[in-house]
Structure 1
Amino acid sequence: MTGVFSLLPDGRHGLLPQSPGSAAGSSSYEDSSRYLAAGGYAPASAPGTLLDRIGAAGLRGRGGAGFPAAVKLRAVRDAPGTPVVVANGEEGEPGSVKDRWLLRYRPHLVLDGLRLAAAVTGAGRGCVYLSDAQAEQAVLRALAERPAGLRVDVVRTPHSYVAGEESAVVRRIDGGPALPTAKPPRPFERGVGGAPTLVANVETLARVALLHSRPEAAAEVVGAHLVTLSGSDGRSALAEVPAGTRLDALADAWGHGKAEAVLLGGLFGGLHGAGWADLPLDLEGLRAAGGALGCGALYFLHPGDCPVGVASEATAYLAAQSARQCGVCVSGTGALAGALSAVARGTADPGTPDRLRRWSGQLPGRGACGLLDAAARIAASLLTHFPDRLDEHRDCPGCAGAAAPEDGRRFLVAVP
């Protein structure tokens, strides 16, 4: 990991923090005295005022779906019963580190956002949900330091790709396994203990706290994203960058300027080849290009990297991480991973591309969570951006005969 950097508009390219509107900072624990001195834990505005501010700023969730934060808060507030608010810090994506970083080094910022979300919704209880031991210790320390207020419990879960899905979060907090459930009802309707529940990504809550303490910097707060950058050469960084930044600017800034392709949004946004450098880092721009921002993790493929091998490893990991509750997910991810593994090993039959094309069109939306969709998008994007590589792959020296590992090791990034 090369560090934590900023490309915010009013800061130079360098170590964070660069401005009061930044969600990041140095990789050392920010205690309550530092956080209070910076304006943290300021008295809450009237609930309606803060909710209107969040809506006017256009804050969207940072857990992957990009859902408008104000809409989600309002739905929980308006549901019958006394709500529960949850800070979701379980990062299922192997290539993302932003949530663990926030919980380890800026837990007060997250707890402040949780406090404000409780004020907006009228919640009587909060939870911090995580799997990282170092993050858990930092959060417990911060809870002991913070001003008295909302009851907050810390719930630790075994790590898995699906453990951070919102219904899995609710199920685990209620004492069950961290596995998704069928919807409806969604957590905002009936969640923890049957109460309406806000499950919010920790970066989303951090930006709620910044909007409250730095209203003059609303555009910067909402327009910035924490992203994890990595690649096959081992270079990685956690960066805070403004929405709309071209991907080639990110690649150049962190040593991936020679990359020939990128895997977007962790494992959720698919592979992009020609034209990837011109893509903007924002929800709508990537969606229009057939990708997704997801959790903001970008994996750069350098010259010599085989996109077929990357796709095979990604789908093998997803198949291994299936909750094994939905038959269509078990069979679908298994079929996609098996077909891509055969292509990678050079043993696929001529009909494999057609089967991959058919499956990648039929499978999305049929599972209880987004895991099956991610696997289908990877296959579809490989066919779209690298169709020739499937036909030519029998001669790939880096993949021939090799079985794709199921542990996602290629995509793993250490927390800075």
Structure 2
Amino acid sequence: MTGIASLIRPGTPSALGLTPGVTEHIDAYTATGGYRDTVGAAELLDRIAEAGLRGRGGACYPTAAKLRSVRDAGRPPVVVANGEEGEPGSVKDRWLLRARPHLVLDGLVRAAEITGAERGYVYLSDDTAAERVHRALAERAPRLPVEIVSTPHTYVAGEETAVVRRIDGGPALPTAKPPRPYERGVGGAPTLVTNVETLARIALLAARPDHGHRTARTTLMTLAGGDADPLLAEVPYGRTLRSLARDQGTPEPAGALLGGLFGGLIGPGSLDLALDPDALAAAGTALGCGAIRFLGPGECPLALARDALSHLAAESSRQCGVCVAGTGAISEAVAALTTGTATPDIAGRLERWAASLPGRGACGLLDAAAGTAGSLLRSFPHLVRSHLDAPCPACATSAGSGGRLTVAVPGVAGRTVPHQRPAASSPLKGTP
């Protein structure tokens, strides 16, 4: 079972809300400042820029710059709340749509006002989330037409050009760039494709503009690993990865897989890095979608890399030959290491692929595979060498356990309740 915890300072606007185990009713949402006209569109854009809000979908791109590019594209744009969560280790987006659909819709409306958009979409693959968003739309019709578009769940379905292609009636597969959606997207119109947590934080900032910096420097994280249950946590930037491992229940991790499958592997010496997009990027890893899988005692990093690469190879959309060949080759090579059947030149081949393959596919899947291989060589070179000598007992024990990458969405009851503070038995843990 996936737990929920608030690790932020009291008074910080929270994406978790007051009753995270129950779908938030419109009355509860408006009672805490939701949908309130506290700030105009132009001022809100300035506040977003001043706060330094970045996207929470994986790229960490400055939100204000993305909003401006769509606003200034020259035609009435379209706005899309992207709730398709392709990373198996992330649950925050589906949880937000199930538990706090009004927060997401509020952010979507405000993004439309900033950009001048005339219509909006909520894009998702989760049936429960779709039902809760439908209910929220019935409780309060937004100031612009909003349509829900469902897609089959795949790793690449949330990539921004795949989102546009699906909304336009095609398959949820990436397309070549340029043009990017902000230039030409849904129906040919400039399109803002924004992660649902980014929109939620826009709404929080609109309700409490005096806390913009704290809102922008707080994020939802999916933490998993070891023998402990996964945890959906709201975390301030600056916390160390080691402290997050303790919060999740893996107190002495041997390393971690960061950013879902995009940030690669880090060793135990990197666990004192601060949770901050710039600090992590400078260290050669990435915050990505905000998912971390810690390595528990006795787990082998190569087994975790094998599972991640196997998933990526299986999820290739098979549109780019270089991606099909590249992800398959990397996956097979690391799998051979875990079974003691790799050839002596394996490290050299992995190093070449890690250096030459990024940027050659239509989406980030090939980059994630190449990055995983490169991070394995950087963080655990001694283990790569030792796996050439003999089969690894830890890898053999975990063979076929790729499902351990997947995290379940925390339970959210479908009933609605009036505005109230959580009782002592609430699943929302207190701030330490």
Query: TM over 0.5, yes or no?
Result: yes
Cα distance per residue 1:27-57 (max 9 Å; x no partner) = 2100111111111111273322111111111
8 Å Cα contact 2:354/2:373 also seen in 1: yes
1:43 aligns with 2:65: no
**For the residues of structure 1 that align with 2:51 and 2:398, how far apart are their CA atoms?**
49
Look up the match of 1:8.
8
**For the residues of structure 2 that align with 1:411 and 1:148, how far apart are their CA atoms?**
37
What SS does structure 2 have at the residue aligned with 1:323? coil
Look up the match of 2:429.
none
Task: Indicate which of 258, 272, 282 corresponds to 1:288.
Answer: 282
Compared with structure 1, are the counterparts of its residues 54 and 325 closer, same or farther at alpha carbon in structure 2 (3 Å cutoff)?
A: same
Moved more, 44-53 or 364-373: 44-53
1:260 maps to a residue whose letter is A
**For the residues of structure 2 that align with 1:28 and 1:118, how far apart are their CA atoms?**
27
Look up the match of 1:351.
345
1:183 aligns with 2:177: yes
Look up the match of 2:15.
23
Measured after TM superposition, the shift of residue 3 of structure 1 is 1.7
Task: Indicate which of 392, 396, 404 corresponds to 1:396.
Answer: 392
- Any residues of structure 2 matched to 1:330-345 within 5 Å, and which? 330-345=324-339
Cα distance per residue 1:362-405 (max 9 Å; x no partner) = 00111111101111111111111111112212231132498656
**For the residues of structure 2 that align with 1:58 and 1:105, how far apart are their CA atoms?**
26
1:312 aligns with 2:306: yes
Runs of 5+ unmatched residues, structure 1: 11-18
TM-score, structure 2 as length reference: 0.92
- Any residues of structure 2 matched to 1:196-215 within 5 Å, and which? 196-215=190-209
Compared with structure 1, are the counterparts of its residues 414 and 400 closer, same or farther at alpha carbon in structure 2 (3 Å cutoff)?
A: closer
1:277 aligns with 2:277: no
**For the residues of structure 1 that align with 2:226 and 2:261, how far apart are their CA atoms?**
15
Look up the match of 1:90.
84
What SS does structure 2 have at the residue aligned with 1:8? coil
Task: Indicate which of 208, 227, 236 corresponds to 2:221.
Answer: 227
1:107 aligns with 2:101: yes
8 Å Cα contact 1:315/1:375 also seen in 2: yes
1:387 maps to a residue whose letter is P
Look up the match of 2:157.
163
What SS does structure 1 have at the residue aligned with 2:370? helix
8 Å Cα contact 1:20/1:214 also seen in 2: no
What SS does structure 1 have at the residue aligned with 2:224? strand
Cα distance per residue 1:9-34 (max 9 Å; x no partner) = 23xxxxxxxx4601113221001111
8 Å Cα contact 1:44/1:116 also seen in 2: no
- Any residues of structure 2 matched to 1:242-257 within 5 Å, and which? 242-257=236-251
Cα distance per residue 1:142-171 (max 9 Å; x no partner) = 000114421000000000000000000000
CA RMSD of aligned residues (A): 1.4
1:150 aligns with 2:144: yes
Cα distance per residue 1:174-225 (max 9 Å; x no partner) = 0000000000000000000000000000000000001101011112211101
8 Å Cα contact 1:336/1:379 also seen in 2: yes
The number of residue pairs the alignment matches comes to 406
1:342 maps to a residue whose letter is A
Task: Indicate which of 227, 252, 257 corresponds to 1:258.
Answer: 252
Task: Indicate which of 340, 361, 365 corresponds to 2:359.
Answer: 365
**For the residues of structure 1 that align with 2:278 and 2:331, how far apart are their CA atoms?**
29
8 Å Cα contact 2:80/2:192 also seen in 1: yes
Moved >6 Å (runs of 4+): none
**For the residues of structure 1 that align with 2:310 and 2:207, how far apart are their CA atoms?**
44
TM-score, structure 1 as length reference: 0.95
Compared with structure 1, are the counterparts of its residues 340 and 30 closer, same or farther at alpha carbon in structure 2 (3 Å cutoff)?
A: same
Runs of 5+ unmatched residues, structure 2: 411-432
Look up the match of 1:14.
none
1:79 maps to a residue whose letter is A
8 Å Cα contact 1:77/1:121 also seen in 2: yes
Q: Percentage identity across aligned positions?
A: 61
8 Å Cα contact 1:312/1:404 also seen in 2: no
Moved more, 256-265 or 20-29: 20-29
Measured after TM superposition, the shift of residue 232 of structure 1 is 3.6
